[in-house]
Homo-oligomer: A and B are copies of this chain.
């Protein structure tokens, strides 16, 4: 399950700017890929040392350097030194507990986002942190492990599909963010499906497992919210920042992804409402079931307790009990019992318990 909070304490006391990885290590080897493209040409290579990528600055093509694995301070420090980035920013890249944020540092724009996966095997959410550094004609992206959400963009670049090859690095930044937000819809569909599944069982057959599922959904929603809400500020911030790194024509794309973010937030809030409502329904259903159990008990008990009492009376061993001597006494007793039972049944029917 997703941890509520990551072990950050190992960092307490260290001077700010110290590069310590916070979070689970999700990959062993750090992998660096460099993609170079413009409208005409396209080149993709795997590099082993980050320094190999540095010449990109002088090229006019758009360069996208993707780094899988953020647990090694060395690579990140190298990049930081080369680009003149503040140590605090580098620290944020390595801290997977970082809140999504955007910082415009003049020559670069620094963005931290959360990518969400649905782990099919464990049937639970997974979160991965993605950091982007957007420069004049390059993007550096940091991922926790080899992911696949960006793969579609790589395909589009390779196959010249869409606009990406004709646009600059800002469009690529948009495309990456768009891919992440689009993926939220996939997650939401999954959760929506789960909610609809539970909803049906809720009234008909509520079990303690339903309660557990509702609780887990609530938890997932909490993580979604924490990932999505800051996104809103980030993207509207990008729009308003007026940074020369973002061309004006990219504005409409940002607005579009902003729109999607609002849609995601709306849906998350609706789901939250649904899930909260489901808990109420669950509790009511439990109450209803208990009520029914009580009714059955009460009906059986209140019918038979008086009858048993009558039987008890004539089971007494007093010497002088005139009824016992009567020839029809036994049948009279049975008859009285039937009458009493019938009266009870009528009473219950009038009370609408039957």
* Chain A contacts to B: CB under 8 angstroms: 3-5, 7-9, 11-18, 86, 88, 92, 97-99, 101, 103, 152, 156, 161-164, 175, 178-179, 182-183, 185-186, 188-189, 192, 195-196, 203, 205, 208, 211-212, 215, 218-219, 222, 226, 252-253, 255-256, 259, 262-263, 266-267, 270-271, 273-274, 277, 279-298, 300-302, 304-309, 311-321, 323-330, 333-334, 351-353
Contact = CB atoms under 8 A, between A and B. Distances in A.
Contacts of A8: 182, 185-186, 189
Nearest to A16: B178
Given A316-B314, A321-B317, A296 B302 contact: yes
Interface of A is mostly: helix
Nearest to A178: B16
A297 to B, nearest CB: 4
Given A301-B302, A319-B329, 13 more contacts: A12-B179, A13-B179, A15-B161, A18-B162, A92-B259, A203-B211, A211-B284, A226-B266, A293-B294, A294-B298, A313-B334, A317-B321, A319-B325
A186 B6 CA distance: 10
8 contacts: A15-B175, A222-B274, A286-B288, A293-B294, A294-B298, A297-B302, A308-B312, A319-B329
A316 B306 contact: no
Given A212-B203, A296-B302, A317-B324, A15 B156 contact: yes
A125 to B, nearest CB: 14
B286 A287 contact: yes
B196 A203 contact: no
A94 B219 CA distance: 33
Contacts of A218: 277
A310 to B, nearest CB: 8
A218 B278 CA distance: 11
A314 to B, nearest CB: 4
A316 B18 CA distance: 86
A167 B287 CA distance: 60
A185 B12 contact: yes
Contacts of A175: 15-16
Contacts of A88: 252-253, 256
B263 A97 contact: yes
A286 B192 CA distance: 28
B4 A271 contact: yes
